[in-house]
Structure 1
Amino acid sequence: MTSADVAREAGVSRATVSYVLNDVPHQKIPEATRQRVWDAAARLGYAPSAAARALRTGRSEIVLGLLPDWPIEHVLGRLIQQLTNTFAENGLTFVVHSSAHPARPLRDIWKAMTPAAVLALQDFDDREADAMRAAGIEVVMAMHGSIRGEPRPPLVSEQPIGALQARHLAAPHRRLGYAYPDLPGLDVLAQPRLDGVRKVCAELDLPEPDVRTVPLDAPGAAEVVKAWLAADPPVTGICAFNDNVALAVLAGLSHLGLRAPQDLAVIGVDDIPGASLAHPPLTTVVRDTDAIARGLARRVVDRLGGKEIPAEPLRDELLLRVRESA
């Protein structure tokens, strides 16, 4: 189907069809005519060509989201959905590409799509960013890490999460541990959260946190728990990278016949659905992913509009949901 077919069906000119379907401003087309065009397009199953629109406007309406090789679980899935909704409110389509093996190379993806903007959750190669800009991609942004070594803080800061965990545990617990994820790809998130814990420990004159990688199985986690309890002085409070790692610590405690918080207090991050169902229910840090999504989309849209965007991270309101584990 073409716009000429729609024009014949509606009994109007092809120019009128173009004005209506592309919502061209300042055209005095009667509402009845507009409705006739939309009805004809619907009957014929016609949709304006995205490629043709890109040629006319000089850019596509696609924002390409680049995901590292991370598990797409509850919080990341929620953020993707909220980004999709927020970009849609601004007339943009958010398309996600995961780098998990055996995905096609990143360059093949952006060359085929010619997006208006690229929003990466993690940093990527400087040469890739240069090639994107040379190809006409107007905005290249990374949530974490830097592009071309720019001295910018991350768009979304992770340090306050670890700091909030440590401050909650520091009063009753004089030695803290950090439960690190057993997945190297998550370092870009785990390291700054750990830095937040370390900063609070230094401020409060507490020992350096005892950092140990926790596998997501009960027997493996139990070995880590034993090491924490055998430390000198013993660790009595655990800041976990996220709720999944925190639940592994709880499973390790149970495997040893121990309990939180009596033997080891535990606090997670994300408030996944299973957090409140844990035994005991898990204390956790909650972040406002909707506000993050809106802030990220706003910065992309502003950059596409030629506006300068702030250098500081997005405002990320954190909430501590206190339950029985800490």
Structure 2
Amino acid sequence: MYFDLTEDQKVIADTVGALLAKAVPDSEIVQQFDRGSVNRDLWSSLAEMGLCGILVSEEHGGIGMDLLTLAVVQEQLGQAAAPVPVAANALAAWLLSASGDATLRERWVAPLLAGEAIAAFAIEKNGQSDPEAWTQAPAALSGSLGNILWAAEADLLIVGCEGGELALIETTAAGVTVEPVEAVDRSQPLGHVRFDGAVATRIEGSTALATRLCDALFVLSAADACGAGNRAMDLAVEYATTRKQFDRLIGSFQGLKHQLANMKAEMEPVRYLYWYAAHCWDALPAKASYTASLAKAHASDVAVRVARAAVEAHGGIGYTWEYPLHIYLKRAMTARAIHGLPSIHRSRSAALAGW
């Protein structure tokens, strides 16, 4: 069997990559990271390309493609450590358009597609995103949820509620407090959300989509980790082929050659693993949850390990703030931690496989 991206997917990936390289060149990436907020100019450009509508049908204003296309885009965003919530908006728009809730669809899908509103998912409990663990009552949200991606910048929250249902609430609503979190990864701002009797709106028909939503988030997290890990590896290769020691390029030293080769051998299969997980979400739903958790666990573990090895390959400069390598390590660390650690996803995939 021959499995590859379509020409359209390759063009989209190349176009997004070129835009990111132009909008945030390597010389400015540390300054962008220091700001710790959404890059609004870049966000507008990506929204204008229609990326937030990849999963939404043309009937509802999107471009009607698939999760694999969105995941390929997310890899590019991870590779550039881009501070933009494309995945969050794309999935929120998909959820509202696919749920059949006409009222919420009319109110929110267009602003989400245009980038005029930002969505965040408050669906993690006890370190994992599992509809069976949700206990919130939409009519009276209470308690706190920490470390929610994009919450500090969000206009609306999608909240996981009892019975595997999803509900929507605006961040400005009564009883909702969002506090920015000083996160390790400033390219993806986090927020701490506190509910005090807040009233959310049930998303009609969302129960049937809750698991698919979580699986999509896992796949996109794997794609982001793949991008971050590959960029860290590329920086290590670039450094090894330009840095001299004892009048020799350090890349000619056998020990470093082995280290770089091991990094490549670990990273290369990651891309195809998340591709297959996205394909299953699109076309093989019986395998979607199993492959999503497998991809999330493996991709994030490998990306963190490779990024750490890349820091070691750089020596002292790899630890400095002014050199961008730490940004990709932190991006990979976020992908590893958010929506459940690898151990949780390995247990889930094993259970789904009947082990």
TM-score normalised by structure 1 residue count? 0.28
User: Which structure has greater helix proportion?
Assistant: 2
Structure with higher RCO (Cα < 8 A, 6+ apart): 2
TM-score normalised by structure 2 residue count? 0.26
- Which protein is bigger by CA-based radius of gyration? 1
